[in-house]
Amino acid sequence: MPELPEVEAMRRGLQQAGVPGTTIRDVEFPRVPYKPIRVRPNRHALRTRLLGRRIVSVDRWGKAVMLLVEGNQRLVIEPRMTGLLLVARPADFRFVRMILQLSPGPIRTVYFWDRRGLGQIHLWSARQFEQRRDSAIRGPDALEITQSALYAALSDSRRPIKVALMDQKAVSGVGNLYASEILHRARIHPQKPCNQLTDDQWRMLHAAMRRVLAEAIRCGGSTLIDETYLTISGKPGRYQHRHRVYQQAGMKCRACRQGVIKKITLAQRSTFFCPVCQE
């Protein structure tokens, strides 16, 4: 589930907890009663390459947390659907997939917890990172992209704007939940083909994207009913209370107070919008 705001909240949490500057004392992969997650290179090699190395910084690459480690290596943690990072011992230990033991500092242990196990962990050399960065598998970050770059990346397409906004090669960070929220804030219908958006709508879209994502980060992300996302201290985020359309089907639109939020399926993903204020 974690999209840009949740991953950025994790990144800031680790940063504030003092993870940069600590040294990796151990990397553990607990035995779980489930199919193990994908780790590249293999667990032994990854551990060997990290032991005794200092963590230089905690960064984010799209929807992945990226630890820059001494030796110009990058430990890339991709939560995908249900992965999350915790500095507090998880209540349900069955889904702990990796444990980082660090020293010194107040935070000694970081847990990667993932119920569905679709998350992945990679260790990239400087060269591997540069290859991926330059290969355009990830477009510019949704918080950094300029309005003209957003326009350039999407405006030629005939795809529905909601589908295009979730294309990580075009712009990275926006997923299913925030795509609906952003388009509602921008008052654009999710099915509107990109090449039919007006200049004004591109302006609104860019502003709404920054605003919604920034607000969600400040709230520590969205924790839905199933609690598959928690902040690094194990507490729920707060942005779900501000959702205007996501999972609000049948409710009156909070913006126009007239429309009733509808749920449709686009590219096999649930999509929510207000038929009155979004066109």
Report the residue number, 26 or 215, with the smaller CB distance to DNA.
215
Phi first, then psi, for residue 83 (nearest 5°) are -80, 150
From CA 258, how far away is CA 168, in angstroms rounded? Answer: 34
Catalytic residue among 11, 47, 60, 63: 63
Active site residue 63: yes
Report the residue number, 11 or 159, with the smaller CB distance to DNA.
159
176 sits near DNA (criterion: CB under 7 A): yes
177 sits near DNA (criterion: CB under 7 A): yes
Using CB under 7 A as the binding rule, the residues of this chain from 121 to 150 that contact DNA are 137
158 sits near DNA (criterion: CB under 7 A): yes
Q: How many of the chain's residues bind DNA (CB under 7 A)?
A: 42
Report the residue number, 118 or 149, with the smaller CB distance to DNA.
118
In contact, 2 and 63? CB cutoff 8 Å: yes
Report the residue number, 8 or 78, with the smaller CB distance to DNA.
78
Q: Which stretch binds DNA (CB under 7 A): 42-50, 68-76, 98-106, 171-179?
A: 171-179
Contacts of 127 (CB under 8 A, 6+ apart): none
Active site residue 2: yes
267 sits near DNA (criterion: CB under 7 A): yes
x/- track of binding to DNA for residues 184-223 (CB under 7 A): -------------------------------------xxx
Phi first, then psi, for residue 242 (nearest 5°) are -105, 5
24, 39, 62, 107: which one binds DNA (CB under 7 A): 62
Nearest distance in Å: CB 105, DNA: 29
Residues labelled catalytic: 2-3, 63, 269
Residues that bind DNA (CB under 7 A): 1-3, 6, 34-35, 62-63, 78, 80-82, 94, 115-118, 137, 156-160, 163, 166, 168, 175-177, 221-229, 267-270
